Structure 1
Amino acid sequence: MIPKFNEYKERFQMESKHTIEPGLGAITHALEKVRNPQQNLKFIHVAGTNGKGSTISMMNSMFQAHGVKTACFYSPCFMDVHDQIQLNGENISPQQLDFVFLQAKEAGLSGLLTDFELLTVLAFMAFEQFQPHIVLLEAGMGGRFDSTNVITPVISVIPSIALEHEQFLGNTIVQVASHKAGIIKEGIPVVVGPLEESAEQVIFKETLKKNSPLWKLNQDFSFAHGMYKNSVGHQISHLTVPLPGPHQLDNAALAIRSVIYVIENLNININEELLRRGLKEAFIPGRFEKITDTLYFDGAHNPASARALVNTVKEVFPNTPIHFYVGMIKGKDAKTVLRIFEEISSNFTFVDFEDERSMPSSALSKISESPYSEVTKEPLESILKTSSKTHVTIVTGSLYLLSEMRLRALQLFGIF
Structure 2
Amino acid sequence: MIPKFNEYKERFQMESKNTIEPGLDAITNALEKVGSPHLKLKFVHVAGTNGKGSTISMMNAMLQAHGIKTGCFYSPCFMDVHDQIQLNGAFISTSQLDEAFSRAKEAGLSGMLTDFELLTVLAFLVFEKFQPDIVLLETGMGGRYDSTNVISPLLSVIPSIALEHEQFLGNTIEEVATHKAGIIKPGSPVVIGPMEMKAEQVLMEEAKKTKSPVWRINKDFSLKNGLYEDTEGLNFSNLSVPLKGPHQINNAALAIKSVLYVAEKLKVDFVETTLRKGLNETFIPGRFEKITEYLYFDGAHNPASARALVETIKEYFPNTPVHFYIGMIRGKDTEKILRIFEEISMNFTFVDFDDERAMSANALSKISESNNVSVTKDLINSLSNTISEKQVTIVSGSLYLLSGVRLKAIRMFKII
Q: Name the SS for the 1:56 alignment partner.
A: helix
Task: Say whether the 8 Å CA contact 1:79–1:406 is kept in structure 2.
Answer: no
Q: Which amino acid aligns with 1:337?
A: I
Q: Does 1:63 align with 2:66?
A: no
Q: Please list the CA deviations of residues 168-214 of structure 1 after superposition, one character each: whole Å capped at 9, or x if unmatched.
A: 11111001000000101001100000010110110010000100001
Provide Cα deviations, 1:353-376, integer angstroms capped at 9, x if missing partner: 222222221121111011101111
Q: Which residue of 1 aligns with 2:246?
A: 246
* 1:399 paired residue number: 399
Aligned to 1:43: 43
Q: Which deviates the most, 253-262 or 10-19?
A: 10-19
Aligned to 2:261: 261
- Offset from partner CA, 1:153-173 (integer Å, 9 cap, x none): 000000000011111111110
Question: Could you say which residue in structure 2 is the equivalent of 1:359?
Answer: 359
Residue identity matched to 1:366: K
Cα pair 2:291 2:414 within 8 Å, conserved: no
Unaligned runs of 5+ in 2: none
Equivalent residues of 1:62, 1:274 under 8 A apart: yes
SS in 2 for 1:323: strand
The match for 2:72 is 72
- For 1:128 and 1:44, the matched residues in 2 are separated by 15
Alignment of 1:3 with 2:6, yes or no, is no
Instruction: Work out whether 1:193 is the aligned partner of 2:201.
Output: no
Residues matched between the structures, number: 416
Partner-residue secondary structure (3-state), 1:373: strand
- The percentage of aligned residue pairs carrying the same residue is 71
The 3 A distance-change label for structure 1 pair 329 and 98 is same
Residue in structure 2 matched with residue 169 of structure 1 by the alignment = 169
CA distance in 1, matches of 2:157, 2:173: 18
Q: Which amino acid aligns with 1:286?
A: G
**Does structure 2 retain, via aligned residues, the 8 Å contact 1:42–1:133?**
yes
TM-score, length-scaled by structure 1: 0.98
- Whether the 8 Å contact between 1:77 and 1:403 is mirrored in structure 2 is no
Question: What is the rounded CA distance, in whole Å, between the counterparts of 1:21 and 1:327 in structure 2?
Answer: 29
User: Matches of 1:2 and 1:146 in 2, distance apart?
Assistant: 17
Do the aligned residues in 2 keep the contact of 1:161 with 1:176 (CA within 8 Å)? yes
Q: Secondary structure at the match of 2:45?
A: strand
- Asked whether the 8 Å contact 1:289–1:298 carries over to 2, the reply is yes
Q: Is the 8 A contact 1:228 1:253 kept in 2?
A: yes
Distance between the aligned counterparts of 1:22 and 1:377, measured in 2? 38
Shift of 1:145: 0.6
Q: How far apart are the structure 2 equivalents of 1:215 and 1:307?
A: 25
Give the 5 Å matches for 1:7-406.
7-406=7-406
3-state DSSP of counterpart to 1:49:
coil
Write the distance in 2 (CA, Å) between the matches of 1:68 and 1:180. Answer: 27
* C-alpha contact 2:45 2:139 (8 A) present in aligned 1: yes
- Residue 29 of structure 2 aligns with an amino acid whose one-letter code is H
Asked if 1 retains the 8 angstrom alpha-carbon contact of 2:292 and 2:414, the reply is no
Which moves more between the two structures, 16-25 or 125-134? 16-25
**1:414, distance to aligned residue in structure 2 (A):** 4.7
Answer yes or no: is the 8 Å Cα contact 1:55–1:251 preserved in 2. yes
| Greater Cα offset, 339-348 or 379-388 | 379-388
Note the aligned Cα RMSD (angstroms). Answer: 1.1
Amino acid at match of 1:8: Y
TM-score when scaled to structure 2?
0.98
- Displaced runs of 4+ in structure 1, greater than 4 A? none
